[in-house]
C-alpha cells in the first residue's frame, strides 16, 4: 500500500527491548539484528511479530500481611512452570520478592529503570526459568515521592517504563505495598486486572471494603481495571470464623472467589529460605493450593482430585 508507513515490531530475545522499524527501511537480505540496548546480535526470520500484549495483574490490598507477596511470588513461579514467560515487578519499598525467590537484589531495580539510569538488562534478574524479577527496595520511597510530585504525569511515566519491558512476557504480575500511595495508585493505573488476597479474619475483610471504596473513588475501577480474583488466604478449616468468612465471600462474590490458600507453616518457613511452593514436595498443602490458583488464572483445567492423577 503505497504511501502508508508500515512498521514492524522486533523484540530483542535477550533484554526484551522492543523496536518499531519501518518495513521499507529493512534491506531485503537482512536476517539478523543487533540490539542497541544490550548489544546482542540475534537472528530474524524476516517475519512480522504479532503485536503481543501481556496480561497485566496487580496483587494488591491496602492492608499489611495478608499474603500479597506470597501470592505474587508463587503465582509467578507457577505460571512460569506452566510454560508462560513471566515478569514479576516488586513495587514495594520493603522489596521482599527477591528474598522470597532466593535471589540477590541488585541496587536500582524499578527506580533505576523509571529514572532512566539503568537499562532492562541491568535491572531484570532471572529468578527461575521463564521467570524474571524487576526488584523493588528502599529506592522506591524516592520513586513514590517523585510520582506524588508529578501527579498523572508521574503515573504515565511509570506505565510507559513498564510498557517498554513487558513485550517479551505473557504475564506481568506486580506485587504492591500495603500503602495507598502514589506508587500503588500508579501501578493500579498500569495494570488491567486485580488480584486481592484477603486473609480470613475480620480486620482484613474491613480492609477489603475500604480498598474497594478507594478504587471506586479513583473512577477507574470496573472500567480499565477489573477485580478478577479474590484469593482467601490463611484458611484454617478448624477455625469457625475462617470458614464463615470464606463462605460469606463466596455468597457475595461467587466465582471471583478462588479456592482458599491454607495456613501452612511449611510454606512460610521455606519462603524465608528463598523457596517457592513449587520448590517443595508435590504433596505440600501450599503447593497444591497455589497450583489451583495458577490453573484458575491461566484458564487451565483443574487437576483431578489426588489419587486419580496419572
Ligand atoms: N498461606 C500461608 N500460610 C502461612 N504463612 C503464610 C501464608 N501466606 C503468607 N504467609 C506468611 O505470612 C507473612 C506475610 O505474608 P506476605 O509477606 O506475603 O504478606 P504481604 O501482604 O505481602 O505483607 P506486606 O503488606 O507487609 O507486604 C509472611 O511471613 C509469609 O511467609
Ligand atoms: Mg508484601
pLDDT of residue 247: 96
310 residues of the chain, pLDDT tens digit each:
333 345 566 777 777 666 767 667 788 788 888 888 788 888 887 776 666 689 999 999 999 999 999 999 999 999 999 999 999 999 999 999 999 999 998 788 999 999 999 999 899 999 999 999 999 988 999 999 999 999 889 988 999 999 989 988 999 999 999 999 999 999 999 999 999 999 999 888 899 999 999 999 987 676 789 999 999 999 999 999 999 999 999 999 999 999 999 999 999 999 999 999 999 999 999 999 999 999 999 998 876 665 444 3
Residue 253: name the closest of 225, 222, 227 by CA.
227
Q: How far is ligand 2, taken at its centre, from the CA of residue 49, in Å? A: 36
The full DSSP string for 241-286 is: HHHHHHHHHHHHHGGGBPPPPBP-HHHHHHHTTT--GGGS-TT-HH
CB 258 within 8 A of CB 57: no
| CATH architecture, domain 55-298 | 3-Layer(aba) Sandwich (3.40)
Residues with CB under 6 A from ligand 1: 64-70, 92, 94, 96, 178, 233-234, 261, 263-264, 267-268, 271
Nearest C-alpha to atom 11 of ligand 1 is from which residue? 268
The residue to which cell 511509570 is assigned? 158
CA 289 to ligand 1: nearest atom: 1
pLDDT of residue 309: 41
Nearest C-alpha to atom 9 of ligand 1 is from which residue? 67
Q: How far is ligand 1, taken at its centre, from the CA of residue 267, in Å? A: 10
Stated pTM of the model = 0.84
- Give the count of alpha carbons within 13 A of 94, CB side only: 12
Q: How far is ligand 2, taken at its centre, from the CA of residue 77, in Å? A: 16
Q: Which residues, including other chains, have CB under 8 Å from residue 120's CB and lie 6 or more apart?
A: 15, 16, 17, 37, 38, 113, 164, 165
- Mutation pick for ligand 1 pocket among 67, 207, 260, 284 (CB with most ligand atoms within 8 Å): 67
- Mutation pick for ligand 1 pocket among 268, 275, 280, 285 (CB with most ligand atoms within 8 Å): 268
Nearest C-alpha to atom 23 of ligand 1 is from which residue? 65
CB 225 within 8 A of CB 194: yes
pLDDT of residue 306: 56
Amino acid at each position: 500500500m503505497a504511501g502508508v508507513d508500515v512498521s514492524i515490531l522486533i523484540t530483542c530475545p535477550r533484554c526484551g527491548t522492543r523496536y518499531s522499524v519501518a518495513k521499507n527501511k529493512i534491506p531485503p537480505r537482512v536476517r539478523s539484528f543487533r540490539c542497541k540496548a544490550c548489544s546482542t546480535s540475534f537472528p530474524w526470520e524476516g517475519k512480522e511479530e504479532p503485536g503481543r500484549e501481556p496480561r497485566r495483574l496487580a496483587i494488591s490490598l491496602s492492608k499489611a500481611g495478608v499474603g500479597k507477596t506470597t501470592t505474587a511470588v508463587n503465582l509467578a513461579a507457577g505460571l512460569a512452570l506452566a510454560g508462560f514467560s513471566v515478569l514479576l515487578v516488586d513495587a514495594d519499598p520493603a522489596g521482599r520478592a527477591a528474598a522470597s525467590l532466593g535471589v540477590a537484589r541488585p541496587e536500582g531495580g524499578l527506580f533505576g529503570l523509571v529514572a532512566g539510569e539503568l537499562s532492562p538488562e541491568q535491572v531484570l534478574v532471572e529468578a527461575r526459568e521463564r521467570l524474571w524479577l524487576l526488584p523493588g527496595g528502599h529506592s522506591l520511597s524516592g520513586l513514590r515521592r517523585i510520582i506524588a510530585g508529578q501527579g498523572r504525569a508521574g503515573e504515565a511515566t511509570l506505565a510507559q517504563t513498564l510498557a517498554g519491558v513487558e513485550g517479551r512476557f505473557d504475564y506481568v504480575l506486580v506485587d504492591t505495598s500495603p500503602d495507598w500511595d502514589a506508587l500503588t495508585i500508579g501501578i493500579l493505573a498500569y495494570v488491567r486486572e486485580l488480584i486481592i488476597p484477603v486473609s480470613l479474619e475480620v480486620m482484613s475483610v474491613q480492609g477489603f471494603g475500604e480498598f474497594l471504596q478507594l478504587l471506586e473513588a479513583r473512577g477507574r475501577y470496573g472500567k480499565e481495571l477489573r477485580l478478577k480474583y479474590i484469593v482467601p488466604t490463611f484458611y484454617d478449616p478448624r477455625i469457625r470464623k475462617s470458614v464463615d468468612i470464606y463462605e460469606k465471600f463466596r455468597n457475595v462474590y461467587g466465582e471471583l472467589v478462588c479456592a482458599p490458600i491454607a495456613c501452612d507453616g511449611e510454606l512460610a518457613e521455606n519462603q524465608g529460605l528463598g523457596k517457592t511452593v513449587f520448590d517443595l514436595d508435590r504433596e505440600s498443602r501450599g503447593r497444591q493450593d497455589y497450583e489451583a490458583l495458577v490453573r484458575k488464572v491461566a484458564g487451565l483445567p483443574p487437576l483431578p482430585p489426588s489419587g486419580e492423577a496419572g
